[in-house]
């Protein structure tokens, strides 16, 4: 069932207005989107890690179910919200990993195709999380772009649409943000290269 | 750092982007120029540029492996075809033989699952590879690569999905039926070779250009779904179920055994959709959660009902029945084989009678389905379980397959599972306000798990204890009888659970009766069972159990008097006993029983005081003491309000001595509120109405606050209801009719909430009816006849409903009779009905209950039957002793005598014709 963008927005509004059934109706509509998110993880799965894509999606679903005071304006807001949740989930996972010190030799799990140097199984993701917080304070839109593209697996086009900017702007944002991030997480390397 | 609006940030960005366009070697110069000598700015931009470039380099190093050319067994990947539920699917060809093509499915999962899959596959391989049929896509190969990647290689099929095929070619009904029958033939073929598909759905059925259906993934599900061994979260069939629940049979969703009948069901859904274009539950279920619930508990709509207009006529009748038979909830009510299914379709096509029709009548008649909607919360809970992968482990364990269950690994998983559900997960969830519905779901699922474990436990003592403790814990969760903690209001389930615990413990006890752990748990079981039994209306059993518990705890505490815990346990047991004896369901509040309660109270005080002597700030002892005083005081209030108040104040005093952590706990606040409510009640009794109103302010605040945070909390609703009842009474005493009305309205509202929660509890109905009746009276007095009528009618309806129940007590019948006679709304009075009720009440009480007799007499009188009225009163007088000389007659006697006199007056004044029988 192909959702009309209008459907999602309407349901979001109904949910915000205090109709809990609207949320239940909303889920199947965005479910395929969420599944896509999941499959972007599926693509990169290797034997040996515990992060299961479908598990992720469903964890998302559960957390969303628990949001009683959700208050968003439109589809875009929904996705950016989902991205935040995904961040939380990944940060949780990273923290747990660190705590349990999964026996040395745990294979690195690259965050995404565009950020393969961030290992989800290592502590770097937590730094990323902090960095994103910082970026958010400076330039919210760039932080959102990163979340949408790198955490939710949205394409540049989709992210642009969600944030209501042009694709060109989106691409520029991403480039800059990537550079900024790398510098923030690996300052020595950034300083060194000429 | 700067912010987006700041000029600095924007400059950095701008320069960055420009610099990107400048070739590497010219960059340094460019930066120098553009940054205008600002060294910091220059460095920042440069480093960000470096960062960007560095990633480009890293990107190529980490480029995701191209799959093309990779080897899987004898096959080589050509390109990706798509994404399945369990992983990516690729087109491949046999190495060295470009003709033979295959579809390679990569299966995602942990190494444990992979190894298991490989083993399983090895077992099934012979059978699956031997499934040669023109309409089944053959399994060619499978295994695990050196890198630990499990995969399956299957015959590559070029075709379109079944639903797309039939739509795009606008097939007629007979054409669809023919196509479907071919599919059935294939499935039946496999069944005859003992392979069940388990995952039939349109996505697994492709149709070639030549119109031949091809079934994919036959038997794969079995290979993948290995119960109990894979850790939760692994992608097993369970996740597939989650993603496409509409084709799964009810037993599959519940994790029960999967047979030929499950395939019949799935085919039934496909059949349904093929004919109507919609799913069987699409009319009512729109979310995954609802769908899962619908599959298990709700009947499907007949195809002709949901189909588009032009299809309704051809579908009505045979095809409807065939579909419904295939979709029966109970496997044994469906077609016995896919072949039978197909045959029935053939009969329809040839105009012969169809067997489904006869079956349908039986099916409808059975009506074992639960009629009411499964709440979304429960459905969401099912989802939760599936998600957490818990379903994958225990649910797929075949109870019948004891050997496998007892295998260490799976078994301990199952144990851990049940424990996890009952303890840490429950506690975590409990912390969430508003979680009551989810907890209810968890609790009932836990019971299911424990039951399964119970079947499997055999002689394992350790497990037996765990089980018993599990059941006990479950019982606690389901019904916290002492008001300590919020109850789910599900007494019958609690009882079930407690009984099971007891059964296990008693068996253990037989082996070694003096074993302290057994004793303790036995006592604990009794301790829990008692109040629950009481709650369910089996008070004498409850008392017996608790007496047993008390006996054991007494023994344990005297054997070890310096042990605080034993003293506390003993005290608590006495309190529980008090509760059961003293509560309205538990026994009469006659003097003898009252004495028993107070005696138990004294013993409770003794034990708690002893505990406090050993540990002056022991919260349990202080709380226990408070409860004991509370119960004792409540009892005393009836006869002597001042004494009762004083006792309860002692309880409040005990609470004030709690250490800060316990003192500030929300539960303490609630306990205090309860006691203050009762004090207020006593004050009202003593005519201190204004003080009473004042005393109720705090409790009211506390309960309302809790209600906001946790609206579904049944216990709190009950307390609020009781509070408003008391308030109403006080307002009436003070003559504040409007306020009283408002309070009665609240009582009614809350009572209906409780009724919804537990429709089996009669007392809520009675309270509601009483409040409705009073409200009616107040409204009638105020001239608001319409509303008064509404309430009066509601009150009557409620009382009648209770009276009409087969287990109605004489009291309920009498109440119905009275209300029908005295309701302020004249038009609602129904004397003949009242008479019926009154007669039944009298019969039920053996004709010896003065109350019933009096009402019966009144009823006769109101119906104009003077003769019977007199006869009845005289009967009553016959077995109630007259006053002894020099003594006043008893209340009862007096009432009867008055009644007699009233009737005689009515006859004399002509209101009642003598001897006129109606």
* DSSP letter string, A79-114: HHHHHHHHHHHHHHHHHHHHHHT--S-PPP-BS-SS
Beta-carbon separation of A134 and B1 below 8 A: yes
The shortest CB-CB distance from B52 to any of A43, A59, A179 is to A179
CA-based nearest distance A73→chain B, Å: 22
Confidence band for B263, pLDDT divided at 50, 70 and 90: very high
Chains A, B: CB contacts within 8 A come to 133
Q: Compare all CA atoms of chain A with the CA of B63 and give the residue at the minimum distance.
A: A113
Higher pLDDT, A177 or B147: A177
Q: Compare all CA atoms of chain B with the CA of A172 and give the residue at the minimum distance.
A: B17
Which residues of chain B make contact with A31, given a CB cutoff of 8 A?
288
Which residues of chain A make contact with B20, given a CB cutoff of 8 A?
175
Residue B488: count other Cβ atoms within 10 Å of its Cβ.
Answer: 25
| CA B475/CA B490 separation, integer angstroms | 9
Q: Check pLDDT > 90 for residue B343.
A: yes
Beta-carbon separation of B13 and A176 below 8 A: yes
pLDDT tens per residue, range B520-576: 666 666 665 555 555 445 556 667 767 777 887 888 788 788 888 888 888 888 887
* Mean of pLDDT values over B255-272: 87
Which residues of chain A make contact with B148, given a CB cutoff of 8 A?
47-48
Q: Check pLDDT > 90 for residue B609.
A: yes
Of B178-192, B476-490, B494-508, B881-895, which range is least confident? B476-490
Which residues of chain A make contact with B47, given a CB cutoff of 8 A?
183, 187, 190-191
- Residue B196: phi and psi, rounded to 5, are -100, 140
Higher pLDDT, B501 or A87: A87
Beta-carbon separation of A192 and B50 below 8 A: yes
Of A178-187, B67-76, B77-86, which range is least confident? B77-86
pLDDT tens per residue, range B765-798: 888 888 898 898 888 888 888 888 889 998 888 8
Higher pLDDT, A150 or B420: A150
| CA B399/CA B312 separation, integer angstroms | 43
Among A36, A52, A103, A113, most B C-beta atoms within 10 A, so best to mutate, is A52
Which residues of chain B make contact with A58, given a CB cutoff of 8 A?
242, 383, 387
ipTM of the complex: 0.75
Which residues of chain B make contact with A55, given a CB cutoff of 8 A?
233, 387, 389
The shortest CB-CB distance from A24 to any of B16, B148, B289 is to B289
How far is CA B608 from each of CA A88, B568, B605, rounded to the nearest angstrom?
Answer: 48, 6, 5
Higher pLDDT, B627 or B506: B627
Which residues of chain A make contact with B235, given a CB cutoff of 8 A?
52, 54
Q: Compare all CA atoms of chain B with the CA of A110 and give the residue at the minimum distance.
A: B62
Under a CB-based contact definition with an 8 Å cutoff, are residues A143 and A184 in contact? no
Confidence band for A58, pLDDT divided at 50, 70 and 90: low
Q: Check pLDDT > 60 for residue B490.
A: no
Q: Check pLDDT > 70 for residue A128.
A: yes
The shortest CB-CB distance from A183 to any of B28, B51, B434 is to B51
Average pLDDT, whole number, for chain A?
68
Which residues of chain B make contact with A153, given a CB cutoff of 8 A?
none
The C-alpha angle with vertex B146 and arms to B143 and B151, in degrees rounded to 5, equals 30
Q: Return the pLDDT at A55.
A: 56
Q: Return the pLDDT at B661.
A: 72
Confidence band for B747, pLDDT divided at 50, 70 and 90: very high
Q: Return the pLDDT at A31.
A: 58
Q: Return the pLDDT at B465.
A: 58
CA-based nearest distance B14→chain A, Å: 10
Higher pLDDT, B880 or B52: B52
- DSSP secondary structure code for residue B459 in this structure: T
Of B10-14, B271-275, B278-282, B444-448, which range is least confident? B444-448
The shortest CB-CB distance from A139 to any of B4, B58, B290 is to B4
Q: Check pLDDT > 80 for residue B147.
A: no
Is residue B754 exposed (0-12), middle (13-18) or buried (19+ Cβ within 10 Å)?
buried
Beta-carbon separation of B287 and A28 below 8 A: yes
Q: Return the pLDDT at B533.
A: 53
Locate all alpha helices (DSSP H) within B1-129, ordered by sequence: 7-21, 24-34, 39-61, 111-129
Of B339-353, B428-442, B685-699, which range is least confident? B428-442
With a pLDDT cut of 90, the percent of chain B lying above it is 14
Beta bridge partners of B1: none
Of A96-105, B358-367, B601-610, B893-902, which range is least confident? B358-367
Is residue B467 exposed (0-12), middle (13-18) or buried (19+ Cβ within 10 Å)?
buried
Beta-carbon separation of A186 and B51 below 8 A: yes
The shortest CB-CB distance from A62 to any of B50, B147, B384 is to B384
Q: DSSP labels for A106-174?
A: PPP-BS-SS-TTSBTTSTHHHHHHHHHHHHHHH-HHHHHHHIIIIIS---HHHHHHHHT--HHHHHHHH
Q: Compare all CA atoms of chain B with the CA of A62 and give the residue at the minimum distance.
A: B384
The shortest CB-CB distance from A190 to any of B51, B88, B289 is to B51
Beta-carbon separation of B62 and A117 below 8 A: yes
Among B108, B375, B378, B388, most A C-beta atoms within 10 A, so best to mutate, is B108
Q: DSSP labels for B814-845?
A: HHHHHHHHH-S-GGG--HHHHHHHHHHHHHHT
Q: Check pLDDT > 90 for residue A32.
A: no
Which residues of chain A make contact with B54, given a CB cutoff of 8 A?
182, 186, 189-190, 193
pLDDT tens per residue, range A84-123: 767 776 776 677 667 765 555 455 666 665 676 777 667 8
Q: Check pLDDT > 50 for residue B863.
A: yes
Q: Return the pLDDT at B226.
A: 43
Beta-carbon separation of B52 and A175 below 8 A: yes
Beta-carbon separation of B62 and A47 below 8 A: no
Beta-carbon separation of B147 and A139 below 8 A: no
Of A124-128, B53-57, B269-273, which range is least confident? B53-57
Q: Check pLDDT > 90 for residue B341.
A: yes
Of A87-91, B481-485, B560-564, B585-589, which range is least confident? B481-485
Average pLDDT, whole number, for chain B?
74
Residues listed for chain B: 918
* Mean of pLDDT values over B359-373: 32
Beta-carbon separation of B16 and A59 below 8 A: no
Q: Return the pLDDT at B246.
A: 79
CA-based nearest distance B570→chain A, Å: 42
Q: Check pLDDT > 50 for residue B421.
A: no
Q: Check pLDDT > 70 for residue B112.
A: no
pLDDT tens per residue, range B644-685: 999 999 999 999 988 887 777 767 888 888 889 888 888 887
| CA B458/CA B453 separation, integer angstroms | 9
* Mean of pLDDT values over B25-35: 82
Q: Return the pLDDT at A159.
A: 80
Q: Check pLDDT > 60 for residue B462.
A: no
Q: Compare all CA atoms of chain A with the CA of B238 and give the residue at the minimum distance.
A: A54
Q: Check pLDDT > 80 for residue B700.
A: yes
Under a CB-based contact definition with an 8 Å cutoff, are residues B238 and B258 in contact? no
- DSSP secondary structure code for residue B136 in this structure: B
Looking from the CA of B717 toward its CB, the CA atoms found within 13 Å total: 21
The shortest CB-CB distance from A24 to any of B59, B114, B376 is to B376
CA-based nearest distance B149→chain A, Å: 7
Higher pLDDT, B20 or B221: B20
| CA B215/CA B55 separation, integer angstroms | 46
Q: Return the pLDDT at B647.
A: 94
Higher pLDDT, B209 or B126: B209
The shortest CB-CB distance from A193 to any of B3, B53, B110 is to B53
């Amino acid at each position: 069932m192909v959702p009309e963008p209008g459907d999602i927005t309407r349901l979001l509004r109904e949910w915000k207005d205090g109709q809990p059934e609207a949320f239940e109706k909303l889920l199947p509509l965005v479910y395929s989107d969420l599944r896509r998110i999941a499959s972007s993880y599926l693509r990169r799965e290797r034997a040996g890690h515990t992060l299961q894509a479908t598990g992720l999606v469903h964890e998302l679903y559960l957390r969303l179910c628990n949001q009683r005071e959700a208050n968003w304006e439109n589809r875009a807001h929904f996705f950016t919200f989902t991205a935040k949740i995904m961040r939380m989930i990944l940060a949780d996972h990273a923290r747990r990993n660190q705590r349990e010190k999964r026996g040395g030799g745990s294979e690195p799990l690259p965050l995404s195709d565009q950020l393969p140097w961030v290992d989800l199984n290592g502590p770097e993701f937590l730094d990323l999380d902090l960095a994103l917080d910082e970026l958010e304070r400076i330039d919210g839109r760039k932080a959102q772009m990163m979340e949408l593209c790198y955490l939710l697996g949205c394409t540049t086009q989709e992210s642009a649409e969600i944030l209501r900017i042009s694709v060109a702007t989106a691409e520029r944002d991403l480039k800059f943000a990537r550079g900024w991030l790398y510098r923030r997480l690996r300052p020595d390397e950034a300083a060194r290269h000429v | 750092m700067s912010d987006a609006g700041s000029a600095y940030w924007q400059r950095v960005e701008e320069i960055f982007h420009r610099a990107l366009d400048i070739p590497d070697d010219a960059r340094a110069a460019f930066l120098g120029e553009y940054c205008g000598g600002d060294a910091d700015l220059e460095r920042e931009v440069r480093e960000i540029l470096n960062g960007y470039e560095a990633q480009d380099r890293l990107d190529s190093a980490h480029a995701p492996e191209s799959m093309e050319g990779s080897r899987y067994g004898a096959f080589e990947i050509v390109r990706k075809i798509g994404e399945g539920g369990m992983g990516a699917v690729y087109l491949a060809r046999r190495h060295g033989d470009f003709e033979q093509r295959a579809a390679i499915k990569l299966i995602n999962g942990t190494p444990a699952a992979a190894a298991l899959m490989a083993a399983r596959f090895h077992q099934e391989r012979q059978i699956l590879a031997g499934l040669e049929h023109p309409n089944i896509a053959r399994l060619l190969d499978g295994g695990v690569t050196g890198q630990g990647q499990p995969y399956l290689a299957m015959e590559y099929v070029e075709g379109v999905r079944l639903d797309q095929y039939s739509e795009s070619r606008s097939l007629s009904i007979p054409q669809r039926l023919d196509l479907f029958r071919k599919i059935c033939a294939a499935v039946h073929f496999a069944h005859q070779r003992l392979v069940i598909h388990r995952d039939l759905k349109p996505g697994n059925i492709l149709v070639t250009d030549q119109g031949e259906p091809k079934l994919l993934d036959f038997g794969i599900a079995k290979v993948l779904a290995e119960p109990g061994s894979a850790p939760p979260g692994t992608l097993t069939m369970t996740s597939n179920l989650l993603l496409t629940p509409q084709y799964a049979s009810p037993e599959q969703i519940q994790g029960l055994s999967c047979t030929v009948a499950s395939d019949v069901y799935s085919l039934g859904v496909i059949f349904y959709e093929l004919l109507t274009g919609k799913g069987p539950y699409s009319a009512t279920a729109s979310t995954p959660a609802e769908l899962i619930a619908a599959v298990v508990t709700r009947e499907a709509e007949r195809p002709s009902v949901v189909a588009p207009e032009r299809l309704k006529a051809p579908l009505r009748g045979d095809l409807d029945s065939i579909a419904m038979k295939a979709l029966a909830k109970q496997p044994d009510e469906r077609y016995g084989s896919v072949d039978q299914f197909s045959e029935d379709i053939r009969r329809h096509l040839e105009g012969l009678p169809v067997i489904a029709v006869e079956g349908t009548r039986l099916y409808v008649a059975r009506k074992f389905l639960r009629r009411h909607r499964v709440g979304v919360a429960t459905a969401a809970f099912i989802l939760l379980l599936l998600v957490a992968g818990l379903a994958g482990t225990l649910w797929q364990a075949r109870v019948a397959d004891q050997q496998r269950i007892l295998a260490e690994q799976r078994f301990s998983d199952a144990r851990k599972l049940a424990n996890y559900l009952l303890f840490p997960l429950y506690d975590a969830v409990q912390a969430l306000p508003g979680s009551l519905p989810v907890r209810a779901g968890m609790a009932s699922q836990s019971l299911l798990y424990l039951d399964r474990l119970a079947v499997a436990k055999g002689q394992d003592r350790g497990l037996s204890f765990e089980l018993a403790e599990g059941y006990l814990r479950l019982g606690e969760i389901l019904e916290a009888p002492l008001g300590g903690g919020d109850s789910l209001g599900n007494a019958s389930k609690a009882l079930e659970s407690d009984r099971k615990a007891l059964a296990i413990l008693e068996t253990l006890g037989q082996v070694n009766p003096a074993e302290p752990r057994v004793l303790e748990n036995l006592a604990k079981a009794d301790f829990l069972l008692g109040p629950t039994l009481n709650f369910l209306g089996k008070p004498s059993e409850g008392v017996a159990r608790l007496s047993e518990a008390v006996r054991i705890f007494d023994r344990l505490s005297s054997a070890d008097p310096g042990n605080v815990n034993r003293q506390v346990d003993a005290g608590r047991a006495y309190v529980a006993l008090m509760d059961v004896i003293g509560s309205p369901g538990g026994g009469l509040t006659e003097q003898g029983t009252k004495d028993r309660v107070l005696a138990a109270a004294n013993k409770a005080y003794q034990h708690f005081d002893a505990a406090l002597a050993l540990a002056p700030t022991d919260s349990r002892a202080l709380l226990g003491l408070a409860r004991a005083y509370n119960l004792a005081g409540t009892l005393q209030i009836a006869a002597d309000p001042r004494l009762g108040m004083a006792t309860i104040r002692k309880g409040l005093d005990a609470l004030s001595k709690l250490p800060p952590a316990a003192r500030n706990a929300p539960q303490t606040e609630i306990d205090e509120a309860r006691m203050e409510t009762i004090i207020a009640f006593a004050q009202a009794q003593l005519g201190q109405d204004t003080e009473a109103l004042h005393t109720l302010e705090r409790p009211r605040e506390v309960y309302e606050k809790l209600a906001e945070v946790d609206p579904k909390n049944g216990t709190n609703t009950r307390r609020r209801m009781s509070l408003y009842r008391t308030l109403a009474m006080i307002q009436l005493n003070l003559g504040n009719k409007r306020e009283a009305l408002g309070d009665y309205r609240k009582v009614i509202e809350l009572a209906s909430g409780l009724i919804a929660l537990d429709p089996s509890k009669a007392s809520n109905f009675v309270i509601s009816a009483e409040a409705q009746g009073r409200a009616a009276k107040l409204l009638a007095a105020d001239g608001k006849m319409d509303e008064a009528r509404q309430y009066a009618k509601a009150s009557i309806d409620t009382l009648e409903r209770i009276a009409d129940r087969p287990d109605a007590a004489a009291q309920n019948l009498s109440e119905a009779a009275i209300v029908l006679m005295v309701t302020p709304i004249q038009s609602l009075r129904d004397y003949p009905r009242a008479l019926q009720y009154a007669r039944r009440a009298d019969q039920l009480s053996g004709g010896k209950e003065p109350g019933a007799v009096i009402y019966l007499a009144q009823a006769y009188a109101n119906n104009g039957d003077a003769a019977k009225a007199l006869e009845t009163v005289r009967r009553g007088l016959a077995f109630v002793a007259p006053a002894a000389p020099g003594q006043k007659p008893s209340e009862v006697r007096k009432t009867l005598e008055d009644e007699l006199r009233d009737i005689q007056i009515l006859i004399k004044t002509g209101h009642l014709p003598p001897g006129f029988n109606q």
